[in-house]
Structure 1
Amino acid sequence: MSKQKIYWFCQFFGWSLLVLVDYLAYVFEIGFDYETFYLAIANIFLGVTLTHLYRLMIRRWNWVRLPFFQLAPRVLLSVLVMALIMTMVNLPIDRIIAPETLMNEPFVFLGYIMSWGKIMLAWVLSYTVYHYVEENRNAEIERILLKTSIRETEAKVLRSQLNPHFVFNALNSIRALVYENPTKAQQGITQLSNLLRNSLLADRRKTVELREEIKTVEDYLALEKVRYEDRLTSHIDLDGRTLFWQVPPMMLQTLVENAIKHGVSTAVGGGFVEVKSMVEADKLHILIRNTGVLGDKKASGGFGLANTAQRLELLYGPEAEFRIFQEENTHDQTGETFAIRNGGPVVCAEITIPAQSEGIFRKKEVSVRSEK
């Protein structure tokens, strides 16, 4: 049943019940007569009409949006006006129908005003409070939707970032290969095309599978390898259980780009970049390790780091975590070999993502294994 039908049902049912109860009490005491019966019916329609006019008025001028101290006087004045109208209609007729009943009653007019005022006040308060609460709830929903929309827009902007300097450098590197190694140049163009496509698609998807994101990282590293040659060494080590976990698109590429720009490129003899994933305590952990010294975060790719932290918060809330720190001792054997060979300290960026639809990931993993 729609709200409109519920409203009219409550209007006629409520006023009919109220008026007929008083009318039956009159019938048991005085007896039945048509004049009183018609007056009772008239009171029902008059009460419905007055309260409906109040409803139209409160909706027309949006009283429910007013502060309480502005709303209260308007409500009380409306109650007084409606009670006065009901009194002006009923009192003269009652003086004709039952003059003996009113003869010994002092302050008859005031009594009628108070009696109808209580009835009108009950109706007005119930209606006004209901719509006041509903209006506040709708306003809160609108604020939440607006906030969600803003956050979603922010997330789209953040996950569609691709450093234009990288594109410029990659094109220059590919141009140098056109005559020296055409096959490798073609491969570089394909890899750059994949990166640009993924960057364009990133604003349409909130998350992608880790294995898909790793392909983007591999294309990026391959292009950077053309530029840095032997000065860049990379290694990717993924836990098979993490391949189907959902991660924000282009996030790892941003961190790897940050690692090369502020780590490998500044090291005299070059350096390494390592990407590793694992599952611990039902959470995905991704490590991006690279040669370098962690200094001022703004000087070390502050936008990329703030981008990652903000995107994780938007998608996963407080359960997700991002931190970057300087490693004092290298525990991973592969990373230790790189660190020793490149003769420099190691910076580690760690991403922690809580389990999301874990059953789906396992189902995908099982299906891939069965295909193999």
Structure 2
Amino acid sequence: MSKQKIYWFCQLFGWTLLITVEYLAYLLELGFDPDTLYLAIANIFLGITLTHLYRLMIKRWNWVRLPFFKLAPRVLFSVFVLALIMTMVNLPIDRLIVPQYLASEPWVFFGYIMTWGKTMLAWVLSYTVYHYVEQTRNAEIEKILLKTNIRETEAKVLRSQLNPHFVFNALNSIRALVYENPDKAQQGITQLSNLLRNSLLADRRKTVELREEIKTVEDYLALEKVRYEDRLTSRIELDGRTLFWQVPPMMLQTLVENAIKHGVSKAVGGGFVEVKSKIEADKLHIMIRNTGVLGDKEASGGFGLANTAQRLELLYGPDATFQIVQENDTHNGEPIVCAYITIPAQSEGIFRKSVTHSVL
């Protein structure tokens, strides 16, 4: 049932029940009188009409957005006006129907005001408090959705990052192969095309399967192999259970790019990049090892590092972890840097569908 239907049901049922109880009390005491029956029916419709007008007024002027010290006097004044109208309608008619029960003293008028005032106060407070709570909740939801949209926009930007320097270097490497090795140049163009396509599609997907991300890494390493030749060696070892695990797109590629840019390229004799994956305690663990020294630039968030930390935080919150450390071991006399990524089985989903609320 819609909120609109619930509202009208409450209006009809509430006012009918209230007036019926009062009419039955009169009926038991004084007996049946058609005039009082007509007055009771009129009071039902009058009560519904007046409170509905109050509803339209509070929505039109948006009182529920007012602070309490401004809202309270408006509510009390509205209750007084509604009670006064009900009194002005009922008191003259009651004087005609049951004059013996009503004296002409002023206190009768104020008694009617108080009686109808309590009824109207109950209705107005119920509706206004509901509206106020609903408005407050909607405002909080809007803040959450706004924050979510901002985070999703940030995540899209982060997902779509592809280092333009790499593209420039890859094109230069492919250009050098056009005459020397056309087949390899054609393969390089295909690999670069795959990378660019995945980069463009990254902002449309929050996660991809690990096997798809690894294919991007393989294309990237193949292009860099053209550039570095024997100075670059790579190895990828994946646990079969991890192939279909969902990971952020282009995340591993940026980390491998970071490993080559800040590690392998600076090593005198070149170096290596190694990617491994496994599952432990229902979490995906990815390790990227490479030749290199963890310098200040990397420690403070070189290209790919701050990117990875932000994306994992946006997607998974504190359940995902990322750290990069300098190992004590060496490879061919060169130091080794290792990046560790932990991803939970499921994201708690901060990117939720927008929630809309219709207000009474």
Q: Same fold (TM over 0.5)?
A: yes
Whole-angstrom CA distance in 1 between matches of 2:171 and 2:322: 32
* Secondary structure at the counterpart of residue 42 of structure 2: helix
Cα-to-partner distance string for 1:318-345 (whole Å, 9 max, x where unaligned): 111000111123xxxxxxxxx432x211
Q: CA shift at 1:193, angstroms?
A: 1.0
Q: Show the counterpart of 1:327.
A: 327
Give me the TM-score of the superposition, normalised by structure 1: 0.89
* Secondary structure at the counterpart of residue 206 of structure 1: coil
* Secondary structure at the counterpart of residue 177 of structure 1: helix
Identity %: 85
Q: Is the contact made by 1:294 and 1:300 (CA closer than 8 Å) also made in structure 2?
A: no
Aligned length: 347
Q: CA shift at 1:105, angstroms?
A: 6.8
Q: Show the counterpart of 2:342.
A: 352
Q: CA shift at 1:141, angstroms?
A: 2.0
Q: Show the counterpart of 1:225.
A: 225
Q: Show the counterpart of 1:68.
A: 68
Letter in structure 2 aligned against 1:112: Y
Asked if 1:139 corresponds to 2:139, the answer is yes
Q: Is the contact made by 2:258 and 2:303 (CA closer than 8 Å) also made in structure 1?
A: no
Whole-angstrom CA distance in 1 between matches of 2:78 and 2:341: 61
Change over 3 Å in CA distance of 1:143–1:78 after alignment to 2: same
Q: CA shift at 1:246, angstroms?
A: 1.0
Q: Show the counterpart of 1:41.
A: 41
* Secondary structure at the counterpart of residue 269 of structure 2: coil
Letter in structure 2 aligned against 1:354: P
Whole-angstrom CA distance in 2 between matches of 1:69 and 1:298: 54
Asked if 1:290 corresponds to 2:280, the answer is no
- Paired residues for 1:163-174 under 5 Å: 163-174=163-174
Name stretches of at least 5 consecutive residues in structure 2 with no aligned partner. 348-360
Q: CA shift at 1:12, angstroms?
A: 1.7
Q: Show the counterpart of 1:9.
A: 9
* Secondary structure at the counterpart of residue 249 of structure 1: coil
Q: Show the counterpart of 2:98.
A: 98
- Paired residues for 1:275-314 under 5 Å: 275-297=275-297, 302-314=302-314
Q: CA shift at 1:109, angstroms?
A: 1.3
Q: CA shift at 1:258, angstroms?
A: 0.3
Q: Show the counterpart of 2:331.
A: 340
Aligned CA-pair RMSD: 1.7
Cα-to-partner distance string for 1:49-84 (whole Å, 9 max, x where unaligned): 110100010011111111111111111000000001
* Secondary structure at the counterpart of residue 266 of structure 2: coil
Q: CA shift at 1:286, angstroms?
A: 0.6
Change over 3 Å in CA distance of 1:288–1:298 after alignment to 2: closer
Cα-to-partner distance string for 1:87-127 (whole Å, 9 max, x where unaligned): 11111222222222122877111111111000000000111
Q: Show the counterpart of 2:118.
A: 118
Whole-angstrom CA distance in 2 between matches of 1:95 and 1:168: 96
Letter in structure 1 aligned against 2:307: N
Letter in structure 2 aligned against 1:344: E
Return 247-256 or 2-11, whichever deviates more. Answer: 2-11
* Secondary structure at the counterpart of residue 296 of structure 2: coil
* Secondary structure at the counterpart of residue 346 of structure 1: strand
Whole-angstrom CA distance in 2 between matches of 1:183 and 1:299: 40
Q: Is the contact made by 1:260 and 1:273 (CA closer than 8 Å) also made in structure 2?
A: yes
Runs of 4+ residues deviating >6 angstroms: none
Return 237-246 or 140-149, whichever deviates more. Answer: 140-149
Whole-angstrom CA distance in 2 between matches of 1:5 and 1:235: 65
* Secondary structure at the counterpart of residue 103 of structure 1: coil
Q: Is the contact made by 1:274 and 1:290 (CA closer than 8 Å) also made in structure 2?
A: yes
- Paired residues for 1:240-259 under 5 Å: 240-259=240-259
Q: Is the contact made by 2:291 and 2:331 (CA closer than 8 Å) also made in structure 1?
A: no
Letter in structure 2 aligned against 1:89: V
Name stretches of at least 5 consecutive residues in structure 1 with no aligned partner. 330-338, 358-372
- Paired residues for 1:44-63 under 5 Å: 44-63=44-63
Greater length-normalized contact order (CA 8 Å, ≥ 6 residues apart): 2
Give me the TM-score of the superposition, normalised by structure 2: 0.92
Change over 3 Å in CA distance of 1:69–1:300 after alignment to 2: closer
Q: CA shift at 1:300, angstroms?
A: 6.8
